[in-house]
Amino acid sequence: MDIEKKVYRTPDGLPVDIAIFTILSREQPSSYRTLAHRELNVLLVKRSRDSEAFPGYWALPGGFSGENETLAEAAYRELKEETNVDNFVRIEQVKTVYYPGRDPRGWMPSVVYCALVQERHLLNLAADTDAEEAKLFTIGEALEMTLAFDHHELLQDTLEHVRHMMMSTTIASEFLPEEFTIRELYQVIQAVVPSFEEDIANFKRNLLATKTRKGLICESVGANGEPRTSDRHSNRPAQLYRFSGYEPSISIYNSGIF
Amino acid sequence: MDIEKKVYRTPDGLPVDIAIFTILSREQPSSYRTLAHRELNVLLVKRSRDSEAFPGYWALPGGFSGENETLAEAAYRELKEETNVDNFVRIEQVKTVYYPGRDPRGWMPSVVYCALVQERHLLNLAADTDAEEAKLFTIGEALEMTLAFDHHELLQDTLEHVRHMMMSTTIASEFLPEEFTIRELYQVIQAVVPSFEEDIANFKRNLLATKTRKGLICESVGANGEPRTSDRHSNRPAQLYRFSGYEPSISIYNSGIF
DNA sequence: CTAATAGTGTCTGTGAGACATTATTGA
DNA sequence: TCAATAATGTCTCACAGACACTATTAG
């Protein structure tokens, strides 16, 4: 174990890349209040024209983590640089990659994070569809582009990770306000996992009235116990709900929790 | 982006630690063939007495990944060094950690892997309960020890990861022979996730006869279509099954697949 | 025979899925 | 009134959970 005598340090720390996701909603043109269209987007940045590697290509934002910060702090720093949002959004580590040749400049692993950011924190980015350096793309668009390095694959892996989390945890809350309608929750899930399809009436009942899921979300009530509602998306007000913090652990082997 | 002008390379690559799990089974002393007791174990190694950091402490095995190999290859190499098992076992990346102070020697991140190894590949280790450098400990024992660095926390995180995978994927197969009985599968799940408790009769029926899980495992049959059985654990032979490769995707929001 | 485990049968209440129906609001 | 969405109701079949029961083997 003579390696322990050496000094361990890279000049720039460990590279950290971050896939920043948001769900953009478009109101449908209609004279009535109607459901919004929601679509998952990801933030990409354009590499400078005089970059040594992949100049002018779009890529996931990234940077280097220093020796005086955690990896998550480096990811947050990168997030803040690109979007100006602060630590109140949730980030998740996805994976770490290295294989020979993934960066033409040499030994360059990458710790990949993802962030789930509410649309309202990205209003300037969402509006600026012609931005030159940082821009939101729909997942469909992003996956069709030729991205720098192996970022296409990283994006795919990250997407799969987010989809899995969407179905097995309550991260849907990251894309929703504190109080939300059943329909909003339903739309958020579908925006991330399009193959999730269920009759919304049954979705609601299963969520509220079955033993294993009861308590996952609960009705929002005001100070006097009266139900709180929203008419954001319909003329008829809809009941608002909130996540309770309870998160069931599910299994492929039976239908219970463990 | 002037950092792109520099040379990126650490002298020793990225540290990789690996938690190697196995399930040890003990036959119950009885004049009849009876169920074995199965318990999850983890391999720890003892750091040399003249290590610079944590001399003489037990730790997760680890090493450095080079620039000419993938991270997984480095993990496999480490696995082979400690157990002499080859690439046929499955490894999974768990997480990557770094925070200031996690290693007294300086900047030292770690990519944590876990490996799921069948007991029969570790017979020498399992037998040698007084080994000085590498030894299997039950999870209970390992979590009560004061391990080197932050390996206690890494072990806990890894354990949680494995438990989650045990319930949401078919990695139980890594701890089982190609053909196994329902009871063996049941015991493997319980060895990893003790809180999983279900009437074994119902377990079997739910696994074989419900729409969302049908096809997960299927009956093992011989050349002539006759059912293959085993009397490893009972006088009465039990039907053997095998995983089919199908893996349902489950959700906390309903009981279907997506 | 007994001891052990494998496997089957049955009954009940709950839940999933399909679908129809009613309710509530703004314009 | 209409258009949209919210919310409720109903019916059937699947299935989870509890538990008793039978079957098969070695010794």
CB contact under 8 A, A167 and B258: yes
What residues of chain B lie within 8 A of the CB of A165, using their CB? none
- Predicted pLDDT at A27: 82
CB contact under 8 A, A71 and B247: no
Helix (H, G, I), strand (E, B) or coil at B18: strand
Integer Cα distance of A15 and B201 in angstroms:
51
- Predicted pLDDT at A202: 96
Task: Give the burial string for A73-98 (b: 16+ CB within 10 Å, else e).
Answer: bbbbbbbeebbebeeebebbbbbbbb
* A255 C-beta less than 7 Å away from strand D: yes
What residues of chain B lie within 8 A of the CB of A1, using their CB? 48, 51
Q: What is the pLDDT of residues B108-159, one digit of tens each?
A: 999 999 999 999 999 888 777 767 789 999 999 999 999 999 999 999 999 9
B68 min Cα distance to partner chain A (Å): 5
For residue B165, is pLDDT > 80? yes
Angle at alpha carbon of residue B193, lines to B187 and B197, rounded to 5°: 65
- Predicted pLDDT at A125: 84
Angle at alpha carbon of residue A208, lines to A204 and A212, rounded to 5°: 120
Q: Looking at A9-83, which runs of residues are DSSP E strands? A: 14-26, 37-46, 58-59, 62-65
* pTM: predicted TM-score of the whole model, two decimal places: 0.93
- Predicted pLDDT at B124: 82
Per the structure, the residue whose CA is closest to nucleotide C5 at C1' is B234
Q: Which of A6, A64, A251 sits opposite B168 (nearest CB)?
A: A251
Distance between the alpha carbon (CA) of A185 and the C1' atom of C15, Å = 21
Q: What is the pLDDT of residues A36-65, one digit of tens each?
A: 999 999 999 999 999 989 999 999 999 999
Retrieve residue A17's tokens: 């890349």
**Which residues sit opposite A3 in a β-bridge?**
none
Domain ranges of chain B: 15-168, 172-243
Distance between the alpha carbon (CA) of B236 and the C1' atom of C5, Å = 7
Considering the domain delimited by B15-168, tell me its CATH architecture.
Answer: Alpha-Beta Complex (3.90)
What residues of chain A lie within 8 A of the CB of B96, using their CB? 14, 71, 93, 96, 111
- Region B97-107: what's the mean pLDDT? 92
- Confidence bin at B31 (pLDDT 50/70/90): low
Name which of B98, B170, B185 to mutate to probe chain A: the one with the most chain A Cβ atoms within 10 A of its Cβ: B98
Residues 6+ apart with CB under 8 A from B130: none
Q: How many residues are given for chain B?
A: 258
- Predicted pLDDT at A31: 66
Interface contacts (A, B; CB < 8 Å): 175
**Pairing status of strand B134-138 against strand B37-46:** antiparallel
Q: What is the pLDDT of residues B68-87, one digit of tens each?
A: 999 999 999 999 999 999 87
What residues of chain B lie within 8 A of the CB of A196, using their CB? 251, 253, 258
CB contact under 8 A, B198 and A248: no
CB contact under 8 A, A258 and B68: no
Number of helices (H), then strands (E), in chain A: 6, 11
Q: Which nucleotides of D are covered by protein (CB under 7 A)?
A: 3-9, 14-20, 23-27
- Confidence bin at B15 (pLDDT 50/70/90): very high
Instruction: Report the nucleotide nearest the CA of residue B211, measured to C1'.
Output: D14
Integer Cα distance of A149 and A57 in angstroms:
9
Are A258 and B193 a contacting pair, CB within 8 Å? Answer: yes
Integer Cα distance of B154 and B86 in angstroms:
24
Task: Give the burial string for B224-257 (b: 16+ CB within 10 Å, else e).
Answer: eeeeeebebbeeeebebbbbeeeebbbbbbbbee
Integer Cα distance of B18 and B114 in angstroms:
5
Positions of chain A with pLDDT under 70: 1-11, 31, 130
Distance between the alpha carbon (CA) of A199 and the C1' atom of C16, Å = 11
Q: What is the pLDDT of residues B186-235, one digit of tens each?
A: 999 999 999 999 999 999 999 999 999 999 999 999 998 899 999 999 99
- Predicted pLDDT at A255: 87
For residue B1, is pLDDT > 60? no
Per the structure, the residue whose CA is closest to nucleotide D14 at C1' is B210
For residue B258, is pLDDT > 90? no
* B34 C-beta less than 7 Å away from strand D: no
Closest chain B residue to A65 measured between Cα atoms? B98
